[in-house]
């Protein structure tokens, strides 16, 4: 069964825009998965500790046959390939990939919460989701557009488009 999955991307270290562009390319090559669309990238202030650079964020829309935990494993493998280290909660990072929405599924266990718990509070997540699907709703019926309208401002700034790296040869 194919499911629509929305992935949040973030980085504030080692050429964040380049990190996100390479992550999009990696996401497009996941097994049993098709990349439907990529949002623009946005810059915003960090959440949590302010003694770090601003973040670059975006989102992608995937259609996948991977189960939620299998998809999470793939996302964490991509983070690892990008040198992700978990040194401080909400600290700086080369790459952060979050499974934001997985079809109409709600999940909450020790490894994964979907929809993402902080989604309603993060304009840098909500705006890219709206760019991908303006009619997107969460499993509980809340519209992403309504959440965005009520979301606190985090200094979100849309960045100019960058060319995506070519897909590796098949």
Closest CA to 76 of 107, 14, 30, 36: 30
Q: Residues for the chain: how many in total?
A: 170
SS3 131: helix
Which helix (H) or strand (E) segment holds residue 128: the answer is helix 123-132
Structural element, H or E, at residue 22: helix 16-27
* Helical H segments across 42-91, by residue range: 68-81
> What amino acid positions are annotated as catalytic residues?
84, 93, 96, 98
CA dist 18 and 49 (Å) reads 23
């Amino acid at each position: 069964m194919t499911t629509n999955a929305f992935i949040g991307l973030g980085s504030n270290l080692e050429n964040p825009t380049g990190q996100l562009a390479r992550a999009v390319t990696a996401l497009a090559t996941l097994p049993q998965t098709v990349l439907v669309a990529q949002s623009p990238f946005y810059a915003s202030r960090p959440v949590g500790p302010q003694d770090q650079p601003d973040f670059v964020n975006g989102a992608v829309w995937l259609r996948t046959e991977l189960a939620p935990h299998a998809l999470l494993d793939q996302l964490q493998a991509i983070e690892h390939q990008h040198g992700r280290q978990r040194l401080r909660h909400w600290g700086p990072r080369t790459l952060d990939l979050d499974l934001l929405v997985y079809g109409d599924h709600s999940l909450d266990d020790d490894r994964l919460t979907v929809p993402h718990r902080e989604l309603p509070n993060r304009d840098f997540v909500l705006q890219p989701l709206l760019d991908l699907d303006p009619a997107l709703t969460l499993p509980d019926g809340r519209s992403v557009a309504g959440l965005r309208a009520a979301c606190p401002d985090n200094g979100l700034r849309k960045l100019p488009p960058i060319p995506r790296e070519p897909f590796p040869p098949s």
